[in-house]
Every structure is written in C-alpha cells, then in structure tokens.
Chain A
C-alpha cells in the first residue's frame, strides 16, 4: 500500500543554520506531495505542494523538489528562524485514486534554539 516515511522524529537546531527534513514515499500511482506545518496549538497549514518531477517549489523561505526517481520530497531551508519551530508533516495524494485522501507521515518536530 501507499506510505510516507519521515525518518526524523525530532530535529533541534540553532537559529541561522540550514535544515533538511526527509520525506520518502511509496506508491504505484502518480504522486502529489505536500508539506504541512503545524505550530503549537494551531491547525496544520499547507506549506508546499508539488506533482512535477525535478522542479523546485518554494514558499516562505522553505523549498522542496519532488524526485520521482528516488521517491523523495525533502523539505529544506537555508537559515532557520525561531518562528520555524513547529511540527512538519509530509503527505501523499494519488491523483484521485484515493478519493483525495492524504496519507501523512509521522511528522518531524523542528525545535530552533537561540
């Protein structure tokens, strides 16, 4: 079946450093990948999305590239800020096969220190 794997449960970094949060997926259909961010006591919000192979997508300083050859959609930022502390979810949709359902990874908690 379809799945999404986020290997890091917790990432702790000092402000100003770069970050990469890993996301790999498994599906036999054409993938649509998403990154959602959830700040403490708030609803998850869409950060990035992509269905185009090898094209970088960017938003709010974060960026990711869907690589179908390696089934990956890693989230990166060149310089993290204190406000980036949050829970980050990678999610997969299968172009209508799953009726619009999203399959979520377990999430990565990003904690930024001063």
Chain B
C-alpha cells in the first residue's frame, strides 16, 4: 500500500498573497492531479502531470501554477489569493485509471 501526504493541512493567507501547497506520494504512480473542492460540491481539475516535469492544464488552471520536479511530488501555487476564498485542495495520483486521494489542504483567505 501507499499514501499521499499533503502539507499544510490548513493554510490561512492574505488577499494577494502567493501560497504554495505540497503533495507527496509513495505509490510510485506516474500521474498526479490537483483538484479544487468548494464546500460540499464537486471536484474541479486544476492541473495534472503524467510524468516528472510534465504539466497539463485542467479546467480551472487560471490563477494557479504547478510544478512536478520529482515523480513523487507535485506542488500547486495560488498566484494571488482572492479575499474570502475558502476551498479544499485535493491531490491525487493514479494507476490503471483508479485515483487515490490525499487528505486535502483547507485554504482560507482573509
């Protein structure tokens, strides 16, 4: 078995601030994903990466950057946090079309 770790668990930022979220997986999966989930709602794909140093935009990539410098890690940057923004950011990795999710980072912008 494996695990996906996301840091930090909670992130509080200020309007306009640049914020970075990190994700690590030890499944040795090739593909990794970042999703945004607003309270009680569906998952929207921000970025994904099919291999080290690859980046592909999802439907919600505007306002975000991503980085995949190692196979095991995938980072997401909120380039300019929006006031009153609240969401959970979920990282996932996949093998054979099945996705495994991390516990999430809960973002609050003051």
**Chain A residues engaging chain B, CB cutoff 8 angstroms:** 32, 34, 42-46, 49, 87, 89, 93, 95, 99-102, 104-107, 109
Query: Quick check: A101 and B45 within 8 Å, CB to CB?
Result: yes
| Nearest CB in chain B: distance from A4 CB, A | 9
Contact A87 B104 (CB under 8 A): no
Scoring B41, B43, B58, B98 by chain A CB atoms within 10 A of each residue's CB, the highest score goes to B43
Residues of chain A lying within 8 A (CB to CB) of residue B102: 43
Q: Is the CB of B42 within 8 A of A105?
A: yes
Chain B, residues 71-110, CB within 8 Å of chain A (1/0): the string is 0000000000000000000100010011111111000000
A43 touches B90 (CB 8 A): yes
B31 and A42 contacting across the interface, CB-CB below 8 Å: no
On chain A, the residues within 8 Å of B94 by CB distance are 100
- Asked if B98 and A45 make an inter-chain contact with CB atoms under 8 angstroms apart, the answer reads no
Q: Is B56 positioned at the interface, with any CB of A under 8 Å from its CB?
A: yes
Count: A-B pairs, CB below 8 Å = 47
Residues of A within 8 A of B97 (CB): 32, 34, 49, 93, 95, 100, 102
B55 within 8 A of A: no
Q: For A102, what are the chain B residues with a Cβ–Cβ distance below 8 Å?
A: 97, 99
- Complex Cα spacing A100 to B29, Å: 12
Given A43-B90, A44-B101: A87 in contact with B50 (beta carbons within 8 A): no
Rounded to whole angstroms, the CA-CA distance of A93 and B100 in the bound complex is 14
Are B42 and A104 neighbours in the complex by a CB distance under 8 Å? yes
Q: Would you call B2 an interface residue if the criterion is a C-beta within 8 Å of the partner chain's C-beta atoms?
A: no
Residue of chain B at shortest CB distance from A6 = B42
Partner of B48, one of A93, A101, A105: A101
The answer to whether the Cβ of B1 comes within 8 Å of any Cβ in the partner chain is no
Can you name 29 A-B pairs with beta carbons within 8 Å?
Answer: A34-B97, A34-B98, A43-B90, A43-B101, A43-B102, A43-B103, A44-B90, A44-B101, A46-B98, A46-B99, A49-B97, A87-B40, A89-B42, A89-B43, A95-B97, A99-B31, A99-B56, A100-B50, A100-B97, A101-B33, A101-B45, A101-B48, A102-B97, A104-B43, A106-B42, A107-B40, A107-B41, A107-B42, A109-B40
Residues of B within 8 A of A104 (CB): 42-43
